[in-house]
Amino acid sequence: MTPVATPFFFYLLAATMLIGGILVITCKNAVHSALALIVTLLAQANIYLMLYAPFVAGVQIILYAGGIMVLFLFVIMLVNIDRAMKERQFNSQWWVGIIAATALGGLFIAVYTKGKSIFPERIPSIAEGENTQRVATLLYGQYMFAFEIASLLLLVAIIGAVVMAKKRI
Amino acid sequence: MDALLHITTLHYLVLGAALFLLGVIGVLTRRNVVIVLMSIELILNAVNLNLIAFSRMWGGLHGQIFAIFVITDAAAEAAVGLGILIAFFRNKETVNIDEVNLLKW
Amino acid sequence: MPDPTSLSPLDLDTPDKTFLDANELIINMGPQHPATHGVLRVILRLDGEKVLGLECVIGYLHRGVEKIGENRTYAMFNPYVDRMDYVAAVSNGLGYCEAVEKLLAIEAPPRAQHVRVILTELNRLTSHQLWLGTHALDIGAITPLFYTFRDREEILKIFEKYCGARLTTHAFRIGGLQYETYSGFEREVKNFLAFFRPKIDEYEELLTTNRIWLERTRGIGKISAEDCIALGVTGPVLRASGVKWDLRKAQPYANYKNFDFEIPIGENGDTYDRYIVRMAEMRQSVRIIEQAVDALPEGPIMAKVPKVIKPPVGEVYHSIEAPKGELGYFIVSDGSTQPYRVRVRPPSFVNLQALDTMCRGQLVADVIAVIGTLDIVLGEVDR
Amino acid sequence: MHDLIQYVQSYLDPNVKVTPGAAGNMFWAFVYIMLVFLGLSVAVIAMNWLERKILAHMQVRLGPMRVGPHGLLQPIADALKLLLKEDLIPAGADSFVFWFAPFIVVLAAFCVFVVVPFGPQHAITDMNIGILFMLGVSSLSVLGVVMAGWASNSHYPLIGALRSSAQMVSYEIAMGLAVISAILMTSLNATGTGTLSMIGIVEAQKAQGEWFIFKFFPLGLIAFFIFAVAMVAETNRAPFDLAEAESELTAGFHTEYSGFRWSLFFLGEYTAMIAVSSIAVTLWLGGWLRPFPNLLNSPTWDTLFSYVPGATFLFLAAICFYNVARMPKHPYFRIQTMGLGAFGAALALIGLILFIPVVSVRVQDIFWFTAKVAGFQYLYIWYRGTFPRYRFDQLMHLGWKVLLPLGLGVLILTAGVGLLQIKS
């Protein structure tokens, strides 16, 4: 018997993500877009859980849904979106964008149909219990330097954001 | 039917590709800067999904580490992007990306 | 951004733009707002949460008290003044009665004067208690309100026993008092004083050294002595800025000169100093009442007043130190039974003018604190 | 049917040592979800009544007295009133977002309880990332607040929402630092690996023989203090209730809400209070562990402490009966007296059931956990009765310039001291 739960949840979450994604790029109101994006992100966190990456799922919820999206909503409230809603929503060159995206999509399809064979049919299941510990070991061991650089990047970003957003420094 | 019901890495990759395309379409066609920034977040998330799917496929955790770094970058990008947006909005009173046509104001 | 202190008055015709484009937001606080102490409407011009300027819109409670005074006889107008500052009705009545007495060139007998002082000072206590409770409530401390109301009740009971009313007492008459004190009046007042002294410490325990209270009141709503004098601000607000001006000492009325008390003054003129000054005033009031009760003379309670009060042609201005500041009555008599013109100088109305000066450059939350510390009563502002 | 019986039996077996979620036992997981949901609803109702009563008694008044004996039925009457009210959506509001926002707040608050360990096996599930999940999900409620404020299309709610979003995001950082220093303490064992699992954290406290609040005195205490301040700010309660400061912003982000939707915010707020208190209890106060588990660890003490739950309920029942005796002997009060008596009898019955050894062994960990959480709820009410409200800039000052550096310092010191301990 093939397990039903995995495909069911996969398709449910995938559908949520895709609908959310479509709403993000089509909604007139930026707040609605942001809400759709939040739904997408939460669904994606669940997909991470299905992929045995609980730590990344937690980080996704805290950082993306709880942090970045609040920042987005905050900024949307600060800027006047009423006028932006009344204006034209799409570029005049929107068809160029669609063609480019279609071409990219064609490329993806080509790659995936050609390279389908390299993906293994069955994936060995791994122990979930040690995930966080193993991530920590890697993050503070092998990737120590990258981790420090990431913190530097965040510092630069904080300073940059403050410099940009402040009226008078 | 079996190919649909048996979830493999490819399924995740296709989902990631679809999200990526949605993000690309959003970036290329929308005029509202906020929504363009959100579309970039979609693209980054699609990348994350791929990274984690591959990490699951190979059984290693390097993909997850990369995903964490990508999320960090996304946070930095959102902060700076929205900071620029606020500065831009204060000067031009608009959030249309078409109007971002000066290097200095 | 321009310096917030050098702004032109509010231009309300400018359309309301959202925050960042104009850097400004106009908010209407009141007339229905829990913290404006009645139907005061304050139009705030904000930069984020910072107050760039504000404008008070008053008149929602205007009842034309002054005009009514022109159409009533002197005695008939007496109860109306209670309705202005209904929190300190006794003080209002005292000011009016003394003004008319001045016009008639008569003086109330000593016993009446003493009872007047006792009741007026008790009323000062109720007024300050109400101020303390609501002020603390505005800043977010809900408990002092109930403590002050519990103790205010005891004073109101004394009022009720004396004249039958708790709030709008109409306690005094032109020329003295209507009622002799009830039996046991002195004992009850003394009992109350003994009961009330530790209660002031209790209020202070709750607030005076509370860190959050200090942070919320120190340096908030500062006003200098010069500004106070220029704006005509009186009462505890003026004294908290360091000006030793109390009409009870400066122009003694009733028989305040017989009593020994001090005028508490502050230094910085901020909300905390006003709080401290009022708390000290409560203690001084207790002192005055104690002396007055101890020295309560026997004798008549009413001077010789004609049945029909017809003051000679002339005008009089008499002011007393009401709990909120200088309460003045300007009465013009044309020799008839009704005043030709009554003009009231209400302390709240004048003190409210300082709101803009005190709030500029502060935050929205401070506006609330400052409205509370000004201790306004809208019935008096609008009359 | 047979499977069902087996499921039931599988859990009642005293040797079961895992949570139903972790064991993949769907039936028991579902039962637990229902139990937690029910328990939380009752707790919120009780909290509502207790807050009014305690606050009233702090403020020399009686509080609700009319509906039911000593106002016991007042919360139910209020809930009925709120449910029957018209569900207003203001003109100009974004109706979908306005409609949806309260649900986010409630969902975020309730979801946290998926990982809250009421006992070693009394949790819906035990996640590997338990504490991360809790912090993440509880931080989602800010979205509901922001959406509610924005969707109301009114100035006061908007300012309230901006305030509370800034406040909650700021205090999350201090909160996170405090939590990390507690998690660091879990790694002080032979293997040197800590855990993020809520049950694992309590087990670590059990294994190390002390609650983390006393660990590395005063480091654990300071971290706990930081968390205790941040959690009040996180739930928008006094003295940090700026988002709904009624003297400034009328009611903040829920000014335009009424009836059912408003009661959802209310439910969310109280559930969130219980949720963050559960985190604090789990991380620093030893979760379900009884007091002095290692000082007084003889079997006599075990038995003695296992009587405490029953005794507490009997004590409450005794208070009820005492008040029954004090009720005025007037026909008007007959129903009230009977109601109070019945309430006391119910409490006494629960107390007596708790004296049955089988039950008390199974349930006392839940009791200790709940008792500790209840202590926090009392603190919340006490704060509300005592403190004036902070101003927004002072709040930010406290969060960023006091708690954040303090948290960083505690974190570094904890790491250093822990390292020394492992080395030696």
Neighbours of chain A (3+ CB pairs under 8 A): B, C, D
3-class DSSP state for residue B12? helix
Q: What is the pLDDT of residues D119-133, one digit of tens each?
A: 887 788 887 788 888
Instruction: Nearest chain C residue to D248 by CA: give it.
Output: C365
Tell me what the mean pLDDT of segment D89-98 comes to.
82
Residue C18 scores a pLDDT above 60:
no
Q: pLDDT for C44-82, tens place per residue?
A: 887 767 888 888 888 888 888 888 888 888 888 888 888
CB contact under 8 A, D59 and C207: no
D388 in contact with C, Cβ within 8 Å: yes
Q: Which has more confidence, C234 or B100? A: C234
Please determine, for residue C2, whether its predicted confidence score (pLDDT) is greater than 70: no
From the list A80, A167, A168, the residue facing C18 with the nearest CB is: A80
Of A86-100, B89-103, C355-369, least confident by mean pLDDT is B89-103
| Percent share of chain C, pLDDT over 70 | 93
Residue A81 is predicted with a pLDDT of 65
Locate the chain D residue with the closest alpha carbon to C16: D155
In this complex, the residue of C1, C21, C23 whose CB is nearest that of residue A80 is C21
Nearest chain C residue (CA) to A82 = C18
Tell if the CB–CB gap between A25 and B61 is shorter than 8 Å: no
Chain D residues with CB-CB distance to A32 below 8 A: 96-97
Pairing of strands C41-47, C25-29: antiparallel
Chain B interface includes A20 (CB < 8 A): no
- The answer to whether C50 contacts chain A (CB < 8 Å) is no
What is the rounded CA–CA span in Å between residue C140 and residue C143?
9
Q: How far is CA D10 from the centre of its chain?
A: 30
Please write the tens of the pLDDT for every residue from D195-218: 888 888 888 888 888 888 888 888
Q: Are strands C314-322 and C176-177 parallel, antiparallel or unpaired?
A: unpaired
Whether C13 shows a pLDDT value over 70: the answer reads: no
How many CB atoms sit inside 10 A of residue C349's CB?
A: 21
**What's chain C's average pLDDT?**
83
For C31, residues 6+ apart whose C-beta sits below 8 A from its C-beta are C39, C40, C41, C57, C60
Asked if residue C20 lies in contact with residue A79, where contact means CB atoms within 8 angstroms, the answer is yes
CB C234 within 8 A of CB C351: yes
Q: Which residues from D are below 8 Å from A when comparing CB atoms?
A: 94, 96-97, 100, 127-129, 132-133, 135-137, 139-140, 142-143, 146-147, 149-151, 158, 161-162, 165-166, 169, 172, 193, 195-196
Which residues in chain C are closer than 8 Å to B89, comparing Cβ atoms?
20-21
Residue D154 — very low, low, confident or very high, per pLDDT cuts 50/70/90? confident
CA nearest to C284, candidates C257, C253, C263: C263
Interface of C to D at Cβ within 8 Å reads: 25, 27, 33-35, 49, 136-143, 145-147, 150, 206-207, 210, 212-213, 215-216, 363-366, 368
Whether the pLDDT of residue D109 is over 70: the answer is yes
Averaged over A12-32, what is the pLDDT? 88
Where does the pLDDT of residue C35 fall: very low under 50, low under 70, confident under 90, or very high at 90 and above? Answer: confident
Least trusted range by pLDDT, from A77-91, C199-213, C338-352, D279-293: A77-91
Query: Which candidate in A132, A140, A154 is best for mutational testing of the D interface (most D CBs within 10 A)?
Result: A132
Q: Which residue of C has its CA nearest to D239?
A: C140
At residue D245, the pLDDT reads 65
Does this complex have an ipTM over 0.90? no
Q: Out of C1, C20, C23, whose CB is closest to A79?
A: C20
Minimum distance, in Å, between the CA of residue C365 and any CA atom of chain D: 6
Residue numbers of A between 80 and 119 with CB closer than 8 Å to B = 80-81, 83-84, 87-91, 94, 96-98, 100-101, 104-105, 108, 112, 116, 119
Residue C20 touches chain B, beta carbons under 8 Å: yes
- Mean of pLDDT values over D133-146: 85
Nearest Cα of chain D lies from the Cα of C212 at a distance, in angstroms, of: 6
Residue D331: the pLDDT is 85
Q: Structure tokens of D93?
A: 């509001």
D273 pLDDT higher than 70: yes
pLDDT, one tens digit per residue, over C116-127 is: 888 898 888 899
Q: Quick one: pLDDT band at residue C216, thresholds 50, 70, 90?
A: confident
pLDDT at residue number D420: 87
Q: Is D70 left (phi over 0), alpha (psi -120 to 50) or beta?
A: left
* DSSP labels, C68-111: HHHTS-HHHHHHHHHTTSGGGHHHHHHHHHHHHHHHHT----HH
D and B interact (at least 3 Cβ pairs within 8 A) = no
**Average pLDDT in chain D:** 84
> Mean pLDDT per 10-residue run, chain B (105 residues)?
73 88 88 87 91 84 88 89 82 74 66
Instruction: Indicate the pLDDT class of residue D8, thresholds 50, 70 and 90.
Output: low
DSSP, res C242: T
Check pLDDT > 70 for residue D307: yes
d(CA C21, nearest CA chain A) in Å = 8
Mutate to test the interface with A, among D26, D111, D137, D146 (most CBs of A within 10 A): D146
What is the distance in angstroms between the Cα of A163 and the nearest Cα belonging to chain C? 16
Contact between D239 and D320 under an 8 Å Cβ cutoff? The reply is no
Q: Which of B13, B22, B62 shows the shortest C-beta gap to A22?
A: B22
Summarised one tens digit per residue, pLDDT across range D254-266 is 888 888 888 888 8
* Whether the Cβ atoms of residue C265 and residue C279 lie closer than 8 Å to each other: no
| Nearest chain A alpha carbon to B37 | A72
Query: Which residue(s) pair with C317 in the sheet?
Result: C330
Q: Which residues of B touch A160 (CB under 8 A)?
A: 79-80, 83
Contacts of C20 in chain B (CB under 8 A): 86, 89-90
Report yes or no on chains D and C touching (3+ CB pairs under 8 A).
yes
User: What is the identity of the amino acid at D40?
Assistant: L
Q: Does residue D401 sit at the C interface (CB-CB below 8 Å)?
A: no
Residue B26 near residue B44, CB atoms below 8 Å:
no
Residue C20 has pLDDT above 50, yes or no: no
pLDDT of res. C14 = 52
Give D246's pLDDT tier (boundaries 50, 70, 90).
Answer: low
Q: How confident is the model at residue A16 (pLDDT cuts 50, 70, 90)?
A: very high
Backbone angles phi, psi at D315, to 5 degrees: -60, -45
**Which pLDDT band, with edges at 50, 70 and 90, does D318 fall under?**
very high
Query: Which of D247, D386, D392 has the CB atom closest to C368's CB atom?
Result: D247
Chain C hits for B93, CB-CB cut-off 8 Å, are 21
What number is the average pLDDT over the span D1-22? 66
Question: How many beta-carbon pairs under 8 angstroms link A with C?
Answer: 13
Q: What is the DSSP string of chain A?
A: ---SHHHHHHHHHHHHHHHHHHHHHH-SSHHHHHHHHHHHHHHHHHHHHHTT-HHHHHHIIIIIIIIIHHHHHHHHHHS-HHHHHHS--B-TTHHHHHHHHHHHHHHHHHHHHHGGGGS-SS-----STTHHHHHHHHHHTTTHHHHHHHHHHHHHHHHHHHHHH-S--
Interface list for C 6-25 with A (CB within 8 A): 17-21, 23
Say what the pLDDT of residue C55 is: 84
Nearest CA in chain D to A57: D133
Q: How confident is the model at residue C42, as a pLDDT?
A: 85
What's the pTM value of the predicted model, to 2 decimals? 0.85
* CB contact (8 A) between residue C20 and residue A78: yes
Is the pLDDT confidence value at D355 over 50? yes
Q: Which member of A52, A79, A146 has the closest CB to residue B56?
A: A52
| pLDDT score for D250 | 64
In this prediction, residue B31 carries a pLDDT of 81
Residue D2's CB: how many other CB atoms inside 10 A? 6
pLDDT at C21 over 70: no
Q: In this prediction, what percent of chain A has a pLDDT beyond 70? A: 86
Q: Under a CB-based contact definition with an 8 Å cutoff, are residues C71 and C25 in contact? A: no
Q: CB–CB of C140 and D58 under 8 A?
A: no
Asked if residue C6 has pLDDT above 60, the reply is no
D16 band by pLDDT with thresholds 50, 70 and 90: low
For residue D136, give the chain A residue with the closest CA: A62
* Model pLDDT for residues D384-402, shown as the tens digit of each residue: 888 888 888 888 888 889 9
What is the reported pLDDT for D365?
A: 83
* Cβ-nearest to B21 among A67, A101, A153: A101
* Cβ distance of C365 and D242 shorter than 8 Å: yes
- The arithmetic mean of pLDDT across residues A86-115, rounded, is 82
- Chain A hits for C18, Cβ within 8 Å: 78-80, 82
Q: Distance between CA C127 and CA C130 in Å, rounded?
A: 5
pLDDT of residue D409: 92
Which residues in chain A are contacts of B100 at CB distance < 8 A?
none
Task: Check residue A1 and give its pLDDT.
Answer: 39
